[in-house]
Copies of this chain bind each other. A is one copy, B any other.
Amino acid sequence: MSKLFVIGMGPGDLDLVAPKALAALKASTDMVAYGYYLDLLGDICHNKTHHDLPLGEEIARARLALDLAASGKTTALISSGDIGIYAMATLVFELLDQQLQGKESHPEWLDVEIEVVSGISAMQAGASKVGAMLGHDFCTISLSDLLTPWESIDKRIHAAGAGDFVVSFYNPVSKKRDWQLNHARDVLLKYRPATTPVMIGRQLTRPDEEITFTTLAELDAKDVDMFTMVSVGNSESRHIQNGEKNWIYTPRGYSKKL
């Protein structure tokens, strides 16, 4: 039986890697991942064959993982966060779909047993660090227009505003993209208060974690980089301070009963 584990390793802190993910990593002989993730995982990756392809080589990575598993090697394809959320899992199934439609010539992929193991995503790591920011209906939007037309992204930002969802922005900026986040801010400002709490979470749960509390009006792409997650509260989210400690929470509506 050829086996491919598709594993989310969580945001970075090894204490957030689920036992199921650890067991899958241990069972694998071959690991396919961006090298930085293997560094974060540390010892568990020793004595495994590493296949470290650079960022941007996502399709090659998914193909390689299917090829290795099909050749009989128990293989782990690894992303940080939840591999099902803006990560590699969907690409594995997209390739499988292409093969089922006869657009690929890898019938051996169809014999691979695939198991997806989810992990804690960055929005959750951020929300829990600042309190309970995702306490009510929320959405996620990737601001990367590499694969998604900007019109679709813009439509979603407007919909998030109209629906008053808490919004977590993935891929808020990159070296080549810097205007989308400020545009998203300006759209959301049409729907919710300038004082809406915002969390900027950089390198969440990792040794160099930095968390900044700001407001929607003051959110600026210059304070954000590729290692950062930005979550914007809904119109009812609250930023509170207890002594030195800052929290953001989004109420569910219990206040009527308190």
Q: List 21 A-B contacts (CB under 8 A).
A: A17-B18, A59-B257, A84-B135, A86-B136, A86-B252, A89-B135, A90-B135, A93-B247, A94-B249, A96-B240, A116-B131, A116-B132, A117-B128, A137-B140, A139-B140, A139-B163, A147-B252, A156-B163, A156-B164, A156-B165, A158-B163
Bound form: Cα–Cα A117–B155 in Å: 33
Bound form: Cα–Cα A135–B79 in Å: 13
Determine how close the nearest CB of chain B comes to the CB of A2; give it in whole angstroms.
13
Count residues of A near B (Cβ-Cβ below 8 Å). Answer: 81
When all copies of this chain in the complex are counted, the total is: 2
Bound form: Cα–Cα A92–B241 in Å: 14
Residues in chain B near residue A110, CB distance under 8 A: 242-243
Taking Cβ atoms with an 8 Å cutoff, the residues of A that contact B are 10, 13-20, 23, 58-59, 82, 84-86, 89-98, 100, 103, 110, 114, 116-121, 124-125, 127-129, 131-142, 147-148, 152, 155-156, 158-160, 162-165, 238, 240-243, 247, 249-258
Residues in chain B near residue A250, CB distance under 8 A: 90
Bound form: Cα–Cα A51–B255 in Å: 23
CB nearest to A129 among chain B residues: B116
Determine how close the nearest CB of chain B comes to the CB of A230; give it in whole angstroms.
15
A90 and B249 contacting across the interface, CB-CB below 8 Å: yes
Instruction: Give 13 new A-B contacts, CB below 8 A, not counting A116-B129, A139-B140.
Output: A10-B18, A14-B19, A15-B18, A15-B19, A16-B18, A84-B133, A90-B249, A97-B249, A100-B240, A100-B241, A137-B141, A137-B156, A158-B163
A155 and B148 contacting across the interface, CB-CB below 8 Å: no
